[in-house]
Amino acid sequence: MNRLRGFLPMIGPPGRRAACLAGAILSGAGAIPLMPAQAAPAERSVQFDIPAQDLAAALDQLGRQAGVQILYPYGVAAGRRSTALRDRVPIRMALDRLLRRSGLEIVRITDRLVILRAAGAAPPARTITRPAPPRPAPAPSSTRPPIPPQADIVVTGRASQAPLDETELSYAITRIDGPALARKGPLSTADLFKQVPGFWVESTGGEASNNIRSRGIPTDGYTSVALLEDGLPVQYDGGLGYLNTDQIYRIDSTISRVEAVRGGPSAIFMPNAPGGSINFVTRTGLRDPGYTLSATAGSFGYERVDGFAGARIAPNLGVSLGGFYRQADGLRHSGYPADRGGQIRAGIDYDDGRARLSFNVKRLDDRVILYLPVPLQFDGSGNVRAVPGFDPLTDTLAGPDEVHVPFKTATGPRDFDLSQGTRSRITFYTMSGRLALDDRSAVDITARLRTGSTLRNGLFPIGRPMTGSDYLASVMPQLKAAFPGTAAATIRYADTGTPFLPDSNGNGLVVGANLLSVWMPMTEFIADARLTRRFDRWGHHDIALGLTYDSARLDFDRTMGTVLLDVLGQARRLDVAAVDRNGREIGALTDNGFVRYGSLFDAVSLRSSNLALYWADEWKLAPRWRIDLGGRWEKIRIGGGVEGSTPVNLGDAATLADDAVLTGDGVIEPIRRHFSGFNWTAGVNFRPAPSTGLFLRLTRIARLPSASEFNAYPNRTDEAVTPITMAEAGLTVRHRRWTLSAVAFGTHFARLPFTDYRFDTASNTYVERTSIADTSTIGLELAGHADLAGPLKLDVQATLQDPRYRNFSYIELAGGLPVTRDVTGNQLIRVPKLSLRVTPSLSLFAGRLRIDTEFVRYSDRFADIANTQRLPPYALINMDVNAKIADRLAIALHVTNLTNALGLTEGNPRAGSFDAGGMGTSYFLARPEFGRTVRATFSLSY
């Protein structure tokens, strides 16, 4: 240890020595007559081999390898993560690398001695003889042992902010630090979560509107996994209909690290989080001063600029500014700019050791395309193949023909613009503060106000592709009934009138689609207040008592029209006309490609308020034993109103498209519902050695209904509190050259409503049915890292699970008669039994070049609950190359789906989630992985 060890005998016992020394150095080591930082630099070059680790341990290791004594404030260095240093450089340069954005600066450096202090702690001038007042530091607990040098400090999902090693946790966590974020360069928020074991992620929707599931939990979107920023939910209810949290969240250079809690205590501290919580920790000018600038270019016209600037403008005050701007044609050829926009964040932070206050404003103004299922076919052997003329890796049905389309409604024409995609204009105002009441108690308060709106325009394919002749045969009875004298029907392109022939698009196929527009303005206020206290009785306790309040107002305006398209990349609208025996047109099924205007209408105003009280106790019962207990009581009130709808005829006798346009009837049906429930969790950790941890945990959760579940049916009675039981048993082992985490889990949902939304192509409207059922899943999560021979490293993540429906039956018509189908024991839809990710990496030239090759494998899945439509297994290969060109300049190359593998993540939900119709038909719709993409990023940091 090099922390002023020669001075320790004059101060007293070790615990008091550390506290006194930290206070003395934090008060400003420059108060004693030291030479300036530039005096007598040590230019002697040394070969360093220091891994990324706790900064205090890294400084100790640097001192040993350089043969110098390093004196530094341990309280500032402990808990901060250092970068790896494997190079032959002068001692001064080595220190500069380790101390970058660390909060420490060099006071004096010689060939034998280095003195560091907290950045900005020096007095303003050398003539000042009275030292600055010391910065208070929390007194260490006499019962808390020091954190091991290799400890990973965890803060998410805990009652206390005191340092705690991962082997002491009674739950599983995945950490992704800043360097790892830069190495991976995820295309979307959901893409990042693929690194978390136990998570099944569908990121094929684009940069937003993706799905995530954890440990076999049977709900989509973000209904069971909470997205947090600095410990507070980005959106209290992440599963609001058509408003997933990832639609309003983007990763950029203002993010310092990510901590993902899998299961565990998430449901105690956070709402709607039985599957886990993912916390994005932001950079600040006080904690992470420095500057970064990066530029990215890649496939499909991808261009992006990220930047961050953080500065400490006073010893206890920092400011920061950062964000990104991106434009791209999209990961599929849509024929128009698909993604364009960005966000900016400005913040100010104060921390004097006793009081901490932070405020930041973030503005998101971004639009991204929503990718939906594409046409595919089964060959004679049941294998998935491309439809002729349509590339499932790079094509999409969306195209310029759906941009600025006249859309008839009962209140007048509207402009449907598919190029708007998911357009989010959101402003977040976040304030957080912490006040230490004494050396054992503190109060934390965090609040966030969110204002703005999201517009979501999408093209949703329906039914199945079929030949033009088959489609005409299916609508002939309808045309003959509407237009007597109909002898035949024709198809033509709506824009040019050119006939649609079997060879017009290379396959002769047509498909239906819904042009859907949803506008959702939302205002939300979230506040969390927490009292934490430490005390010693029958061991050591860190307790937390908290209160969370949320108030949200959301409007939901939805309009939809159904069109007919040809099956082609950038599909075009088709018209169908009825002709008499002389070939003369006597009427039309469609109008400007629309089979039905107003095939869906919703006008909803929602209000919700949530109040939650929670408590947690981290109880260190003995040196090797810890017990974690927690409880949460929560209540939700849902109010508002839903306007009823009625079909109207707009009066155009030449077409059937406007005969039943749904519009508001002016009758508002009120929503008045409230639900409450209690969650509890108990976990125990046994640590037989500092490098090994074992844990058990049992959690019981009462999942409350979401406000948006009453959008269309304000009086529905099937919604109720869902009981969830989760059990976990884990092992964590940390070795000098390898680490291993293994978690066995079981999850049981009881009395969960499952609703089948199926679009009926005969009536051009949605029909639905609901069944109440249970689910159960058992599984195993594995995550490991190994330093192999020489520069070779290996990371492995695997999830093996058996997700099943229980007590599940539903009724359907067969031959006009009701038949009960029992699907108990079937596999949960879209969730694979096996997810495997193996990443060997090669580190060369003292760590200046790193090559990661990622091999991913998913087992087969099913698109429907009846398990009739199988989604085949598939494998992907991705690659990341990161090179350090100079001390401050780096380049990264990211390649996804290197081999252009065709892998399906989901089928077509609009064909029916209960029974999608099996695999007996040749053509179907599904959403595949994107084709190969390449991106290069140049980064400058200081």
Task: Indicate the residue type of 38.
Answer: Q
Indicate the helix (H) or strand (E) that contains 98: helix 91-99
Indicate the helix (H) or strand (E) that contains 60: helix 55-66
Q: Which fold has domain 304-941?
A: Maltoporin; Chain A (2.40.170)
Length of the chain: 942
Domain boundaries, the chain: 5-118, 304-941
Burial of 912 (0-12, 13-18, 19+ CB in 10 A): buried
Q: How far is CA 266 from the centre of its chain?
A: 15
Phi, psi angle pair for 67, to nearest 5°? 70, 35
Q: How confident is the chain (942 residues) per 10-residue block, as mean pLDDT?
A: 36 36 35 34 76 84 81 76 86 87 82 76 39 39 36 64 82 88 88 90 92 86 91 93 92 93 91 93 90 95 96 93 96 95 97 92 97 91 90 97 95 94 97 92 96 97 94 95 95 96 94 96 98 92 96 96 97 97 95 96 96 96 94 97 95 95 95 96 95 96 92 85 95 92 95 83 80 94 93 96 94 79 93 96 92 96 90 96 92 97 89 75 90 96 86
Alpha carbons 237 and 251: distance in angstroms, whole number: 20
**Closest by alpha carbon to 907, among 461, 379, 562?**
461
- Please report how the helices 55-66 and 91-99 are oriented relative to each other, as an axis angle in degrees rounded to 10: 180
Asked if residue 507 lies in contact with residue 444, where contact means CB atoms within 8 angstroms, the answer is no
Q: Give residue 698's pLDDT.
A: 97
- For 329-440, where are the E strands, in sequence order? 339-351, 355-368, 374-378, 384-386, 405-407, 414-416, 422-436
Longest dimension (CA), the chain: 111
**Closest by alpha carbon to 330, among 931, 897, 878?**
931
Alpha carbons 270 and 495: distance in angstroms, whole number: 52
Report the Cα–Cα distance between both ends of the chain, in Å, rounded. 29
Q: Give residue 628's pLDDT.
A: 95
Task: Indicate the residue type of 433.
Answer: G
The DSSP string of 520-553 is: EEEEEEEEEEEEEEEEESSSEEEEEEEEEEEEEE
Contacts of 827 (CB under 8 A, 6+ apart): 803, 804, 805, 833, 861, 862, 867
Q: Give residue 82's pLDDT.
A: 87
Alpha carbons 939 and 182: distance in angstroms, whole number: 9
Q: How far is CA 470 from the centre of its chain?
A: 42
Q: Are strands 69-71 and 113-118 parallel, antiparallel or unpaired?
A: parallel
Phi, psi angle pair for 908, to nearest 5°? -120, 100
Alpha carbons 563 and 598: distance in angstroms, whole number: 11
Cross-strand partners of 211: 202
Indicate the helix (H) or strand (E) that contains 701: strand 692-703
- How far are the Cα atoms of 77, 136, 149, 800, 819 from residue 80, in angstroms, in the given order? 6, 19, 11, 34, 63
Q: Give residue 120's pLDDT.
A: 60
Q: What's the token pair of residue 877?
A: 């290969």
189: helix, strand or coil? helix
**Closest by alpha carbon to 276, among 236, 217, 192?**
217
Q: How far is CA 489 from the centre of its chain?
A: 48
Contacts of 830 (CB under 8 A, 6+ apart): 200, 202, 211, 213, 861, 862, 863, 871, 905, 906, 907
Name the pTM for this structure. 0.83
Three-state SS letters, 369-381: CCCCCEEEEECCC
Phi, psi angle pair for 572, to nearest 5°? -115, 150
Q: What's the token pair of residue 536?
A: 């010693």
Phi, psi angle pair for 15, to nearest 5°? -60, -40
Q: Give residue 919's pLDDT.
A: 62
Asked if residue 782 lies in contact with residue 773, where contact means CB atoms within 8 angstroms, the answer is no
Class of domain 5-118: alpha beta
471: helix, strand or coil? helix
Asked if residue 850 lies in contact with residue 843, where contact means CB atoms within 8 angstroms, the answer is yes
Alpha carbons 726 and 562: distance in angstroms, whole number: 43
Q: What's the token pair of residue 200?
A: 């099944």
Radius of gyration of the chain (CA): 30
Q: Give residue 890's pLDDT.
A: 94
Number of H helices, E strands in the chain: 8, 49
Q: How far is CA 547 from the centre of its chain?
A: 25
Q: Give residue 310's pLDDT.
A: 95
